Amino acid sequence: MISNQKVILDAGHGGAEPGAVYNGRQEKNDNLKLALEVGRLLAGEGVDVMFTRIDDTYQTPYEKAEIANRAGADYFISFHRNAMPQPQTASGAQMLIYEKGGASEAMAANILDNLVRAGYDDQGIVERPGLIVLRETREPAVLIETGFIDNDADNRLFDENFGQIARAIAGGILQTLRQQSGEPVYYQVQIGAFAGKDAAAQAAAQLTAQGFPAFIVYQDGYYKVRAGAFLNMDNAVRMEKRLREMGYNTYMVHEEAVR
């Protein structure tokens, strides 16, 4: 069950170690902001969430791994942002793991797939066995490079779509937890989240009139309009494609059941 799963969220760098810096923007701040928001979303789904840091402090990579190992975590997720020697020369999200295969690669693939859907270019899943936080953690571990901090387009995406990016990462983590626990995962296509029930009902009625199986989920204080609930992801992808062709802005979500 999700409620029995514990994850450690690690905001990379911190304190006197800013990470990558570009035009005054410091990686450590983006990492912490994103880790805290993803943690909030996971906790709302019943996941036991711990953090290596919740403020502007520094731990060595060995200390970060030891925090996770002492806690007996099921997964370790480290948040970072990428950079290149020459600014503006690369963009996209990338996942780093110790080695291919197993739970780490499964989680990396789920998170990366969601980040690509959120707007990032796909920089792939890369083995990095030399990274201490991947090598020294006893639990499956992934490191997320959430776009390039020295790419203006990636920074705009990070800032303007921050909520969607956090939900994409949390969704990938939840999907993996459910897969590993044996719970069925339903893929749903969301077309909007509304503060008012009437607006959501109107959007759902429009979808129904267009031949889509629409329904409303009340979650996190919003009425979310979704179409379809599929055990097979390919079917959900086809549904999403149809909706986008009709002009909808879509977002793939994963749920253990239709609520």
Catalytic site residues?
145
CB distance 23 to 87 below 8 Å:
no
Task: Say what angle helices 102-117 and 162-181 make with each other, to 10 degrees.
Answer: 150
Distance of alpha carbon 11 from alpha carbon 33, whole angstroms? 8
CB burial string 60-98: b at 16+ within 10 A, e below: ebeebbebbeebebbbbbbbbbbbeeeeeebbbbbbbbb
CB distance 142 to 110 below 8 Å:
no
- 258 forms beta bridges with none
CB atoms within 10 A of CB 39: 22
Task: Record the tokens describing residue 162, joined without a space.
Answer: 């921050």
